[in-house]
Amino acid sequence: MNVAPVNGQQIAYDDTGGDGPAIVLAHGFLMDRTMFAPQVAALRDDYRVITWDQRGFGDTIHDGRPFTYWDSAADSIALLDHLGIDQAIVGGMSQGGFISLRVALLAPERVRALILMDTQAGTENTEVIPLYQGMIDEWVANGPSDELVAATAGLILGEPGLNEEWAVKWKARPREVLALCGQALLTRDDITGRLGEIAAPALVVHGTADLSISMDKAEALAAGLPGSGGVVRIEGGTHAANLTHPGPVNEAIVAFVGALPA
């Protein structure tokens, strides 16, 4: 693990190194940089792969102040500066996709292409915000109970082995900071109307069994991005399709990045 002191945070990251084109991947809500282990394994021989922990998650030390995904996007750009990378393929899953889109809007010259996994450009559906807020409030107040963890894992993973693996991680983490992370998630702005500003080539990958973000949101995302060729559907893939179905996800990513102009 490495640490980049940027924007008042201590951002934890892993870097495979090498001379290949850089790919920077940002994780989803409640996850951390290790969720991309299958993608790192598939890409590291030909690319420099950087995975990082966002504010409030993993090994990153957060300053304890409220933040937005625009702040997290600024962290991603500052990490590129820290590593001396002028331009990268920027991507992420769910929350990581929210951040990646904002990186492309803040610093389009730094983004060679986008990899967007099980994500969207809009806000949460109004009917689920009270449910998610209640889950976050309970998590912060009383900790991640077995029942709450099971419900959360079902929304993100939906595979027994992975559910158990991440449950152990969730129960070991400090719970207080999740309040600020939840605020960033549930109060994020809608950038659907700005997708046309993003000219970078974009890969949109989405699991057909994603319970957290519906396929129509992925289709709207792909339709709004001028550089997208449509949605690559991962049959049976859950919200974390990159973990539950790494084979077809990796195949899509390798084909996409391999076809980018030099």
pLDDT for position 165: 95
Task: Give percent of the chain above pLDDT 90.
Answer: 98
Average pLDDT score over residue span 225-246: 98
Pairwise pLDDT comparison (177 vs 54), residue with the higher score? 54
pTM of the model: 0.96
d(CA 247, CA 230): 19
pLDDT for position 233: 98
Confidence band, pLDDT 50/70/90 cuts, at residue 46? very high
Tens-digit pLDDT profile for residues 67-118: 999 999 999 999 999 999 999 999 999 999 999 999 999 999 999 999 999 9
- Residue 193 burial (C-beta neighbours within 10 Å; 0-12, 13-18, 19+): exposed
- For β-strands 9-15 and 2-6, DSSP reports them as antiparallel
Sketch the domain layout of the chain as residue ranges. 2-123+189-258
CATH code, residues 2-123+189-258: 3.40.50.1820
Nearest to 213 by CA among 146, 124, 126: 124
pLDDT for position 262: 78
Tens-digit pLDDT profile for residues 128-162: 999 999 999 999 999 999 999 999 999 999 999 99
- Residue 50 burial (C-beta neighbours within 10 Å; 0-12, 13-18, 19+): buried
Confidence band, pLDDT 50/70/90 cuts, at residue 37? very high
Tens-digit pLDDT profile for residues 217-227: 999 999 999 99
Mean pLDDT of the chain: 97
d(CA 31, CA 155): 13
Assigned token pair, 11: 């951002």
Q: In terms of DSSP H, where are the helices of the chain?
A: 37-43, 69-83, 95-106, 129-142, 146-156, 160-172, 178-186, 215-224, 241-244, 246-258
